[in-house]
C-alpha cells in the first residue's frame, strides 16, 4: 500500500515527494498531465484530477496514506470534500491535510474559510489526520524579487501586526515526517493540528530591512495600500483570486499571523533542527540567481 501525494507538481508537493522518495515507502504522485512532472526514482506517477470522481476513486484505491493539498480554485471545497469522502470509502485512515493558519479566524477570506470547512468535516467524522496550518510562505517573496531589486521596494503589504513566515522546505520536512509516522503506525493514530510558522514575526518594514542588508542598499517598504496590490495580481490571474488575496492581506494587517505559544518548539522537535529564518531565505534566494513559485 502506498502514500498518495496530491498537488505533486506544486512547490509543497514536489518537495514532499523528494523527501519521501528515499524513505523506502511506496510513493505515488497525483498529476493531471502525464509525463509533465519530473519525479524522483521509485516514485510512481498517477494521472488524476480532484475534479473527477472516477479518477480520484481509482487513484485512492491502492493508497494507505493520503497527503491532501488543494489548489486555490473556485471549487476547492467540493474537490477536497469529495476526495475525503472517497478516501473514507477506500478505508484510508491515515491523512495529512494542508490547511492554513487562522483558517477559523479569517472568516471572510474565501480560501481560508474553505479550508476550515474541510477541517470541520474531518473533525465531525472523526477522520484520523494531521492538519498542517502554515503561515505565509517565505517563497511567496521570490515572486517579487524583481520588484525589490529593480525598484528598491518591498511590495508585499503585510503591515505591522507581524507575520511568522515559514519556509516551504520546513513545511515539506514536517509533512513528510507526519506522513511516514502515520503510514508506518500499526493502527491509525489520533488526530493532531500543527501550526507551521517561522521563528520570528516580520513586519513590512522588517522584511524590507532584511532585503536592504542582503543587497547592501536601501530597500523601502511599499506601504499597506491594497488597491495597487489587487491590481497587480489581476495582471497575472483571475480577478476573483486577486480579491481573495486582497482580503487575506487585509486580515494579515489587522490580525497578523502568529501561532500558539510553544508551536516553534514542537516543530523543531519534529525537524531535529532550528526552523529556517527569513534572513537565511533571502540570502539563499539572492545566491541562487533565479526565482521560483510559492503559496
In the three-class reduction of DSSP (H, G, I as helix; E, B as strand; rest coil), residue 236 is classed as: coil
pLDDT at 36: 84
pLDDT at 293: 37
Nearest by Cα to 140 from 72, 46, 60: 72
**131-187 confidence digits (pLDDT tens):** 999 999 999 999 999 999 999 999 999 999 999 999 999 999 999 999 999 999 999
In the three-class reduction of DSSP (H, G, I as helix; E, B as strand; rest coil), residue 204 is classed as: helix
pLDDT at 262 over 80: yes
pLDDT at 295 over 90: no
pLDDT at 37: 83
Share of the chain above pLDDT 90, in %: 91
Within 13 Å of residue 90, how many CA atoms lie on the same side as its CB? 26
**120-133 confidence digits (pLDDT tens):** 999 999 999 999 99
Distance (Å) of CA 168 to CA 53, 107, 149, 194: 29, 24, 22, 15
- Grid coordinates given for 86: 472517497
- Averaged over 38-47, what is the pLDDT? 92
In the three-class reduction of DSSP (H, G, I as helix; E, B as strand; rest coil), residue 192 is classed as: strand
- Grid coordinates given for 276: 529556517
Task: Report H helices in the chain.
Answer: 11-21, 53-60, 76-89, 110-124, 145-151, 168-184, 204-215, 227-234, 239-255, 263-271, 278-288
**73-115 confidence digits (pLDDT tens):** 999 999 999 999 999 999 999 999 999 999 999 999 999 999 9
pLDDT at 35: 83
What domains sit in the chain, N to C, each tagged with a CATH number? 2-136+167-197+258-275 (3.40.50.720)
Q: Are 195 and 133 in contact (CB under 8 A)?
A: yes
Task: Please report, to the nearest 10 degrees, the dihedral formed by the alpha carbons of residues 151, 153, 157, 162 taken in order.
Answer: 160
pLDDT at 292 over 50: no
Q: Are 9 and 35 in contact (CB under 8 A)?
A: no
**215-258 confidence digits (pLDDT tens):** 999 999 999 999 999 999 999 999 999 999 999 999 999 999 99
Amino acid at each position: 500500500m502506498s502514500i498518495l501525494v496530491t498537488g505533486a507538481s506544486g512547490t509543497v508537493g514536489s518537495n514532499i515527494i523528494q523527501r519521501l522518495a528515499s524513505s523506502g515507502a511506496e510513493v505515488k504522485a497525483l498529476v493531471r498531465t502525464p509525463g509533465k512532472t519530473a519525479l524522483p526514482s521509485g516514485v510512481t506517477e498517477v494521472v488524476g484530477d480532484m475534479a473527477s470522481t472516477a479518477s480520484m476513486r481509482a487513484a485512492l484505491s491502492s493508497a494507505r496514506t493520503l497527503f491532501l493539498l488543494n489548489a486555490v480554485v473556485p471549487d476547492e471545497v467540493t474537490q477536497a470534500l469529495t476526495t475525503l469522502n472517497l478516501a473514507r470509502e477506500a478505508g484510508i485512515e491515515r491523512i495529512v491535510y494542508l490547511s492554513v493558519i487562522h483558517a477559523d479566524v479569517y472568516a471572510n477570506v474565501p480560501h481560508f474559510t474553505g479550508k476550515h470547512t474541510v477541517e470541520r468535516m474531518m473533525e465531525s467524522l472523526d477522520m484520523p489526520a494531521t492538519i498542517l496550518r502554515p503561515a505565509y510562505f517565505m517563497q511567496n517573496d521570490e515572486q517579487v524579487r524583481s520588484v525589490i531589486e529593480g525598484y528598491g521596494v518591498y511590495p508585499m503589504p503585510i503591515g505591522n501586526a507581524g507575520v511568522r513566515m515559514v519556509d516551504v522546505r520546513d513545511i515539506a520536512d514536517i509533512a513528510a515526517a507526519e506522513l511516514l509516522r502515520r503510514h508506518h503506525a500499526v493502527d491509525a493514530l489520533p488526530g493532531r493540528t500543527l501550526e507551521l510558522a517561522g521563528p520570528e514575526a516580520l513586519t513590512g518594514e522588517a522584511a524590507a530591512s532584511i532585503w536592504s542588508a542582503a543587497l547592501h542598499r536601501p530597500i523601502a517598504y511599499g506601504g499597506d495600500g491594497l488597491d495597487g496590490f489587487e491590481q497587480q495580481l489581476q495582471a497575472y490571474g483571475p480577478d476573483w483570486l486577486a480579491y481573495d488575496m486582497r482580503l487575506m492581506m487585509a486580515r494579515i494587517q489587522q490580525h497578523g499571523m502568529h501561532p500558539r505559544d510553544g508551536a516553534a518548539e514542537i516543530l523543531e522537535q519534529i525537524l531535529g533542527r532550528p526552523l529556517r529564518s527569513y534572513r537565511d531565505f533571502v540570502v539563499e534566494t539572492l545566491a541562487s540567481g533565479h526565482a521560483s513559485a510559492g503559496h
